[in-house]
Structure 1
């Protein structure tokens, strides 16, 4: 037996987890119920986490590039977007983009995470050339670029197919895709928080197409706003079903909603207890996705560290220049050093492993840590 339980209602779920059997929607709802002891849910999630990833906890050295905050959409939950004439509105020029890439390389980054607003006065070619510019000047820097929502916007601008756009982006230097824009898939929620942007079917079409092309992607869920447990479990099951089909998702990131400066500022942000429960339930429901990321920018450093015992096996990275969640009131630092990340992992009783974007081990030159080379792919369990 995994743990000595005081909850007879969890026996069936414990038996399934121990046997490696899939959990149902009803199982997910039971695990999500606040009456179900959180420590027991966490213990089950930790069992799965260690079965898949042993005692490893991953991190990478990365920089964010949000090329513009000007956006045609007005999502209720977003504090990052700006209108064209607002004082805070910006769009980076080529020199600024190059400077960000150079800063990343100078600081030993292996990844540039590229997302932003949908600028109605910038053509598709601006986005495409941004990727090409970075790849041409910094060919060793992995470019994780554009959410499914952005790809859908490019589709609207060009009338090209999703596949053609992804092929052009890949040719320009895109290495993989982030998982943003998923929010909550269920139309009861999605229609109220982001009614005009890509719906769930389009989000899945973009990721399915990327996976069919061999492009690895991440996946996410924004929680703690107007959704409920049913919407969250429905969301996870939809992700699980696509993973069954394509096996293209490499990591899931539950994103805690920050209400400050948004159209939902009256909502109280999720508690740490909710954060840990969502992480644990996600680990248990997403049996076919290898990694779970505790995004410290949104969770806070302490909760992210605790999440390493509630299903998470990844702390993201150094995250230089993150703007989207800091605009929404995140009070976390804008940068963690490698030493700080490794200390957090060691304090949690885990073994720190630096990875690249697609989970290859990274080796560093001890005499010059900004110099790195790829090690072996990281494989542990099922």
Structure 2
């Protein structure tokens, strides 16, 4: 019996339909291997991939529900010693524009977020040599003391590794201290592309692929959940993306600690890497393709998030038919991608309307993807 995917592709060229056996394999519940993921990434047959991913999405989440979380991203410092070529946010130590937010400012930002219905605070910043473990523990403890209902989704693996280096402590010891102070979960930032070939070119001072995975593995072993992310659309090849997807899939097999996969396109504005790739910015087609491929390849990930911040609400709506089941957060504040040229913004009402217009029911969730209403 012909499936919908094969019917859609019946009039396509032999080259375009070459991926159909791969899609049928995924639809039959079999795991895709490295070469098959690369073949999908190289294929122009976006529609067939999207339809297969959409079918699998509804097998995992049968109800026509799209989740979202009300959150605020507090970029507590822009001082950083990693000097990543894709970043327009960081300032080197001693720079006149460098800053560290005072605790009273951080608490005020949390207060504002709570008044808007936030359940989550995401804190990420630079690798600042002046901030030691005590600063993070005291900050987290102060937030939890005043706002015990707020979930702290904070610090990328790169930040945690840097704190461990400064303190001459193990990652496990640092995570235990942060968890005791109130850390709830870890965002997947700093993954970029989990290929050391790519990392050496775009962020050679940042943690390696294995170090990023090690921090996540350790966190999961301590009961600290996390997301997994990818920033693509710069100098990576399909093989690098496939390596990334298989790496996080393997770790998920080990720990089950990832809540979701979140991908976004490189924002080239005001960055050295943007000049190197001549201002290239991946658009809707590659974004939707990777959304579908992630849903097909990451068979052990429960959630795929649509990034409306970098792609806009219209492409994010389309992503809901290419495997995504979550609309991410309301992004009350975010400065990193904005400084690199991300221009999309939306109120909570606009975001909810976009979900409804696509034919889905918006449902508020918490950081662990538990429905709140």
User: Which range, TM-score by smaller chain?
Assistant: over 0.9
Q: Which residue of 1 aligns with 2:13?
A: none
Give 3-state SS (helix, strand or coil) of 1:180's partner. coil
5+ residue gaps, structure 1, are: 364-382
Q: Which residue of 1 aligns with 2:354?
A: 344
Cα distance in 2 for partners of 1:157, 1:84 equals 15
Q: Please tell me whether the aligned partners of residues 41 and 277 of structure 1 are also in contact (alpha carbons under 8 angstroms).
A: yes
Q: Please tell me whether the aligned partners of residues 49 and 283 of structure 1 are also in contact (alpha carbons under 8 angstroms).
A: yes
Map of 1:38-187 to 2, 5 A cutoff?
A: 38-54=46-62, 55-187=64-196
Q: Which residue of 2 aligns with 1:354?
A: 364
Q: Please tell me whether the aligned partners of residues 148 and 180 of structure 1 are also in contact (alpha carbons under 8 angstroms).
A: yes
5+ residue gaps, structure 2, are: 11-15
Cα deviation for residue 29 of structure 1 reads 1.4
CA RMSD of superposed structures (Å) = 1.2
4+ runs deviating over 6 angstroms: none
Cα deviation for residue 302 of structure 1 reads 1.6
Cα distance in 2 for partners of 1:12, 1:133 equals 55
Cα distance in 2 for partners of 1:142, 1:229 equals 36
Cα deviation for residue 83 of structure 1 reads 2.3
Give the TM-score normalised by structure 2.
Answer: 0.94
Cα deviation for residue 112 of structure 1 reads 0.4
Q: Please tell me whether the aligned partners of residues 2 and 47 of structure 1 are also in contact (alpha carbons under 8 angstroms).
A: no
Q: Deviations over 1:182-231 (max 9, x none)?
A: 11121111111111121111111110011111111000111001101110
Map of 1:234-253 to 2, 5 A cutoff?
A: 234-253=243-262
Q: Which residue of 1 aligns with 2:227?
A: 218
Aligned residues: 360
Q: Which residue of 2 aligns with 1:37?
A: 45
Q: Please tell me whether the aligned partners of residues 317 and 341 of structure 1 are also in contact (alpha carbons under 8 angstroms).
A: no
Q: Which residue of 1 aligns with 2:274?
A: 265
Cα distance in 2 for partners of 1:301, 1:261 equals 24
Cα distance in 2 for partners of 1:86, 1:294 equals 35
Confirm whether residue 329 of structure 1 aligns to residue 344 of structure 2: no
Give 3-state SS (helix, strand or coil) of 1:112's partner. strand
Give the TM-score normalised by structure 1.
Answer: 0.92
Give 3-state SS (helix, strand or coil) of 2:223's partner. coil
Cα deviation for residue 357 of structure 1 reads 0.5
Cα deviation for residue 331 of structure 1 reads 0.7
Cα distance in 2 for partners of 1:114, 1:345 equals 26
Q: Please tell me whether the aligned partners of residues 70 and 119 of structure 1 are also in contact (alpha carbons under 8 angstroms).
A: yes
Give 3-state SS (helix, strand or coil) of 1:221's partner. strand
